[in-house]
């Protein structure tokens, strides 16, 4: 989970990677599943693992039934009882009553019971380079101060702050040396008018952001693990998933990391251009889709 050292200009990450390639623990949940045709209960540890490739994993401790379970005896669905969601899964390992399952598709939308309207979304960016922002703050204690750079992407009524973490520059250095994956930035999505954000709208703007930041980097960089909050900063929903991301490698790109304003200017132009095209064609609900469609040719 996030710590006070990683507060970045008012954006606190929900999850962090203390060092590259470390597993991220998301939740511990009550679950039920079918084994040998009978419904059993258990507890699932939900995590994102990065090696050998990013993936979402459910480690389940079965509470009742036989102490010896075979992979082919495990059903194809995992039910999170408190959240009332059913996830299609595949069992990849069984050791006694300990099971390891993976979802057949990602991400998984995990709603909170009694959730209210979402007003802002915090997300975590994997494998994006450190940059010099258009705004900056400092964090740390005593003489050990870190510069925390930030940019703000604005277009079509959206405002997205993207901030480095205290750990960003050190993690990027390690990634350049050894490759792999790490959370390198934290972001905050809001509407300019401060109105509620629909779940579909949040998913679409995050998809557009995925394409845009990957376009800037020259390879896939993933905004993962978004968490939506209501006006009282209570968690309303979250999405569990590992995202589509390349292991760290150098790729030449148009984005000069010493000039963070390039991200701001280019994002605004791309989204606003897509918005004008959508108005002309009467498909305003497709603005993010048209924007990332124009960038996809650079990411093949």
Going by C-alpha positions, the residue among 111, 120, 102 that lies closest to residue 241 is: 102
What DSSP designation does 63 have? -
In this structure, the number of other CB atoms found within 10 A of the CB of residue 147 comes to 16
Query: Helix 261-281 and helix 287-295: axis angle, to 10°?
Result: 120
Q: Is the dihedral of CA 240, 244, 247, 250 positive or negative?
A: negative
Q: Which domains does the chain have, with CATH numbers?
A: 4-20+113-299 (no CATH), 24-111 (2.40.10)
- Hey, what are 288's tokens? 């993010």
pLDDT per residue of the chain (300 residues) written in tens, 0 to 9: 443 344 344 689 999 999 999 999 999 999 999 998 889 999 999 999 999 999 999 999 999 766 778 888 888 999 999 988 999 999 999 998 899 999 999 999 988 766 678 999 999 999 999 999 999 888 876 677 788 999 999 988 899 999 999 999 999 999 999 999 999 999 999 999 988 998 889 998 999 899 999 999 999 999 999 999 998 888 989 999 999 999 999 889 999 999 999 999 999 988 887 777 766 765 545 444 444 444 544 444
> What is the rounded (10 degree) CA torsion for 71, 75, 76, 80?
-110
pLDDT 10s digits, 25-36: 999 999 999 998
Residues belonging to the chain: 300
Cβ-based neighbours of 141, under 8 Å, separated by 6 or more: none
CA distance 61 to 115: 28
pLDDT 10s digits, 82-92: 988 999 999 99
In this structure, the number of other CB atoms found within 10 A of the CB of residue 52 comes to 8
Burial of 248 (0-12, 13-18, 19+ CB in 10 A): buried
212 alpha-carbon distance from chain centroid: 15
- Hey, what are 270's tokens? 């791309």
Q: How many CA atoms lie within 13 A of 80 on its CB side?
A: 24
Cβ-based neighbours of 241, under 8 Å, separated by 6 or more: 48, 56, 106, 107, 108, 224, 225
Whole-number CA gyration radius for the chain: 20
The sheet carrying 144-155 orders its strands as 108-111, 235-240, 222-229, 120-126, 183-191, 158-164, 144-155, 135-141
């Amino acid at each position: 989970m996030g710590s006070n050292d990683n507060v970045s200009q008012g954006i606190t990450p929900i999850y962090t990677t203390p060092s590259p390639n470390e597993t991220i623990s998301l939740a511990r949940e009550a679950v039920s599943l079918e084994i040998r045709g009978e419904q059993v209960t258990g507890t699932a540890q939900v995590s994102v693992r990065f090696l050998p490739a990013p993936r979402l994993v459910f480690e389940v401790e079965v509470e009742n039934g036989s102490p010896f379970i075979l992979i082919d005896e495990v059903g194809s669905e995992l039910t999170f009882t408190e959240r009332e969601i059913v996830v299609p899964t595949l069992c990849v390992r069984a050791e006694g009553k300990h099971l390891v399952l993976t979802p057949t598709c990602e991400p998984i939308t995990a709603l909170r019971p009694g959730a209210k309207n979402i007003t802002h979304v915090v997300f975590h960016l994997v494998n994006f380079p450190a940059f010099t922002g258009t705004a900056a703050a400092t964090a740390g204690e005593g003489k050990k101060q870190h510069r925390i750079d930030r940019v703000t992407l604005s277009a079509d009524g959206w405002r997205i702050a993207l901030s480095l973490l205290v750990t960003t520059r050190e993690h990027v250095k390690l990634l350049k040396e050894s490759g792999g994956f790490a959370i390198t930035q934290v972001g905050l999505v809001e509407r300019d008018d401060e109105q509620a954000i629909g779940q579909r709208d949040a998913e679409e703007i995050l998809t557009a952001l995925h394409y845009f930041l990957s376009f800037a980097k020259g390879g896939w960089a993933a905004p993962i693990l978004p968490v939506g909050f209501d006006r009282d900063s209570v968690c309303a929903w979250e999405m569990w998933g590992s995202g589509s991301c390349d292991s760290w490698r150098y790729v030449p790109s148009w984005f000069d990391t010493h000039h963070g304003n390039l991200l701001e200017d280019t994002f605004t132009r791309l989204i606003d251009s897509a918005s004008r095209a959508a108005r002309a064609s009467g498909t305003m609900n497709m603005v993010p889709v048209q924007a990332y469609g124009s960038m996809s040719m650079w990411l093949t």
